[in-house]
Amino acid sequence: MYSDKVMDHFMNPRNVGEIKDADGEGQVGNPKCGDIMKVFLKVEDGIIVDAKFKTFGCAAAVATSSMSTELIIGKNIDEALKITNKTVAEALDGLPKPKMHCSNLAEEAIKEAIDDYKKKHGMEPEKEQGERCSRRCDDILNDE
Amino acid sequence: MDSRFIYLDHSATTNVKPEVLEEMIPYFKSNFGNPSSIYSLGRKSKQAIEEARERVAKALNSKKEEIYFTGSGTEADNWAVKGAAYANSNKGKHIITTAIEHHAVLHACQYLESEGYELTYLPVGPDGVVAAQQVSKAIRPDTILVSIMYANNEIGTIQPIKEIGGITREKGVLFHTDAVQAVGNTSIDVEDLNVDMLSLSAHKFYGPKGVGALYIRKGTKITNFIHGGAQERKRRASTENVPGIVGLGKAIELATHNIDGYSEKLRNLRDNLIDQVMEKIPNVRLNGHRKKRLPGNANFSFEFIEGESLLLMLDMKGIAASSGSACTSGSLDPSHVLLAIGLPHEIAHGSLRVTFGEENTGEDVKYLMEALSPIVERLREMSPLYVKD
């Protein structure tokens, strides 16, 4: 069902944990839907120098969390914002169709964390905090 | 920790016992005749089916003529529920069932609702057991059928079938029980239980997949479900699955042979596991009544973690179990059973079902515990919901 890469990132997730006094933090998801992801960013001179996550969810949710943090480390904010759920899924050699929604989690959590960083640094966030969280369940229902 | 394979999902399915397979094989090969054919090769198949019917009847304490073979437990459930509903619609269109039925009954009932039948889905208590008195209260003059499972497939809870059977008998309402999870795990006597219909499935008790049976008490009004030839005394058309039926017959005979000893063995494993999990792992709850449950069933919810992750990590250790998490079912909602016993969604997502069977030993419980504790701890460390004390 899962690719080897998904299983690798699930069994050996990269960047699990928290960053104290993170420059940006974002949490999306809902325990009702069965997944929550929290991302912590450390940003220096506009570049993400470290990222950590905590995730409650299935193997796909954990693997996308792990992969997406890997993808954004070393990138500047604008590049990181360009990472979509598709980019993450492709980097994992694909996700089973019913699990594609899990990759939204990672994309949205990162965007949420970047928005938080922007707000803290007097920049205009892309969306209001929390706006991304509640959409997911409905999105999935509408997809079906 | 040595690496091995431990199967702890006997409620999903079981292996076919060698003795069962051995009896089946001739009916794939030399005795391949169609039971409806009149020559001796056909008669051999016919005879094998009747012997299997005898074995099933003996196991359930029914008459031989009251046993009908089907293609699965699901088919038996569908036949019982829809067949009884259609045959008795002149009397009324009200059916009583519970919120925790298997989808084979639940979805058949929902389908009947779309056809104008009125359904009452009785709730269960937090222990996962329905109160017989609720059935009594729910019965109306237009009630035509009560369908309540013998034992739940997820949390293993055993329903008061005998008590409910007394009520339905007294009120003159048909009573079906889905005993797919119960047959082979606990002894069943349709006369003692006062049920009118009972479903069972061979692959749950070391028989083959693709074959089940429906017990229909003589005189029960029920329409046919599969139309065609005159098989099963004109009640269920289609050329019989002869090897499967032979396998079912042998499997039920073996299963009922020493059922008390088997139940006790499973109960010991179950109780051992429940005691250890409750003692050694914090923030865990046992789902379903502590005692009124299938002898081999344990179902837990581990707070702060999600079931699919747990199953995959157990799988890496060679342990096969199951969960009521949404992620394992392909839907958004966690198990309707876990929600029905009042679990919040996030707790229902973190459930683990372990169902023991014949080959399991105390060593397996030990191995499972050695694997489970660190996995739960690891997933919790990763969870944003978990705050360590």
pLDDT of residue A141: 43
For chains A and B, CB pairs below 8 A equal: 68
Please give the torsion angle defined by the CA atoms of residues B75, B80, B81 and B86, in that order, rounded to the nearest 10 degrees: 110
Using an 8 Å CB-CB cutoff, list residues of chain B that contact chain A: 304-306, 308-309, 312-313, 316, 325-327, 330, 332, 334, 344-346, 349, 381-385
B109 counts as catalytic:
no
- How distant is the Cα of B78 from the closest Cα of chain A, in angstroms? 26
**Do the Cβ atoms of A11 and B316 come within 8 Å?**
yes
* Interface test with chain B among A7, A53, A58, A62, by most B beta carbons within 10 Å: A58
For residue B309, the chain A residues in CB contact (below 8 A) are 10, 57-59, 62
CB < 8 Å to B327, chain A: 34, 57-58, 60, 99
Q: Which residue of B has its CA nearest to A139?
A: B332
Q: What's the domain count of chain A?
A: 1
Q: Could you say which of A13, A58, A60 has the minimum Cβ distance to residue B382? A: A13
N-to-C CA span, chain B: 29
Q: Is the CB of A133 inside 8 Å of chain B's CB atoms?
A: no
If you search the block for the tokens 């399915």, which residue do you land on?
B13
Say yes or no for a CB contact (<8 Å) between A31 and B316: no
Which of B21, B41, B226, B327 is catalytic? The answer is: B327
The residue type found at B281 is I
Which residues are CB-contacts of B216 (< 8 A; sequence separation ≥ 6)?
B66, B68, B80, B196, B197, B222, B235
Chain A: residue whose CA lies nearest to B350: A34
pLDDT for the residue numbered B331: 63
Lowest mean pLDDT among B53-62, B231-240, B330-339: B330-339
pLDDT in tens, B242-299: 999 999 999 999 999 999 999 999 999 999 999 999 999 999 999 999 999 999 999 9
Task: Name which of B309, B332, B344 is nearest A140 (Cβ-Cβ).
Answer: B332
CA dist., res. B299 & res. B287, Å (int): 5
* CATH number for the domain that contains residue A95: 3.90.1010.10
Burial class (CB in 10 A: 0-12, 13-18, 19+), B101: buried
User: Which residue, among B301, B309, B313, B378, would best test binding to A if mutated, counting the most A CBs under 10 Å from its CB?
Assistant: B309
pTM (whole model) above 0.90 = yes
Determine the number of helices (DSSP H) and then strands (DSSP E) in chain A.
Answer: 6, 3
The pLDDT mean for chain A works out to 87
Q: How close B308 gets to chain A, by Cα (Å)?
A: 5
First to last CA, chain A: 20
CB contact under 8 A, A37 and B308: no
**Which of these ranges, A100-104, B154-158, B211-215, B285-289, has the smallest mean pLDDT?**
A100-104
Domain extent for A64 = 4-143
Instruction: Say which of A32, A37, A61 has its CB closest to residue B346.
Output: A32
In which band, very low, low, confident or very high, does the pLDDT at A136 lie, cut at 50, 70 and 90?
very low
Q: Residue B330 above 70 pLDDT?
A: no
A32 touches chain B (CB under 8 A): yes
B233 close to B49: Cβ distance less than 8 angstroms: no
What are A83-121's pLDDT values in tens digits?
Answer: 999 999 999 999 988 888 778 889 999 999 999 999 998
Quick one: pLDDT at residue A138?
Answer: 43
Residues of A within 8 A of B349 (CB-CB) are 31, 34
- pLDDT in the model for residue B287: 98
Structure tokens of A6?
Answer: 């998904």
Taking only the tens place, the pLDDT of each residue in B333-368 is 789 999 999 999 889 999 999 999 999 999 999 999
Q: Which of A36, A38, A59 sits opposite B309 (nearest CB)?
A: A59
Greatest CA separation for chain B: 76
Minimum-distance CB partner of A35 among B306, B344, B382? B306
Residue B326 to chain A, least CA–CA distance (Å): 7
Amino acid B346: pLDDT? 87
CA-based nearest distance A15→chain B, Å: 10
Q: Which residues of B touch A59 (CB under 8 A)?
A: 308-309, 312
pLDDT tens per residue, range B6-27? 999 999 999 999 999 999 999 9
pLDDT digits (tens, 9 = 90+) for A17-74: 999 999 999 999 888 778 899 999 999 999 999 999 999 999 999 999 999 999 999 9
Residues of A in contact with B305 (CB under 8 A): 56
Q: What's the pLDDT tens digit per position in B176-185?
A: 999 999 999 9
Confidence of residue A128 (pLDDT cuts 50, 70, 90): low
pLDDT at B80 over 70: yes
Please tell me which of the candidates A7, A57, A137 has its beta carbon nearest to residue B306: A57
Query: Is some CB atom of chain B closer than 8 A to the CB atom of A51?
Result: no
CA-based max dimension of chain A = 44
For chain B, what is the mean pLDDT?
Answer: 96
A129 has a pLDDT exceeding 60: no
- Which position among A33, A58, A133, A137 bears the catalytic label? A33
CA–CA dist B90, B206 (Å, integer): 41
Q: What would the pLDDT profile of A7-30 be if each residue is shown by its tens digit?
A: 999 999 999 999 999 999 999 988
Q: How far is CA A70 from CA B29, B204, B247, B255, B280, in A?
A: 58, 45, 54, 54, 35
B316: chain A residues, CB-CB within 8 Å: 11
The reply to whether residue B383 touches residue A11, judged by beta carbons under 8 angstroms, is: no
Q: Is the pLDDT of residue B165 over 60?
A: yes
* pLDDT the model gives residue B141: 98
More confident residue, B208 or A123: B208
ipTM: 0.88
AA letter at B348: A
- The structure tokens listed for B176 are 């079906």
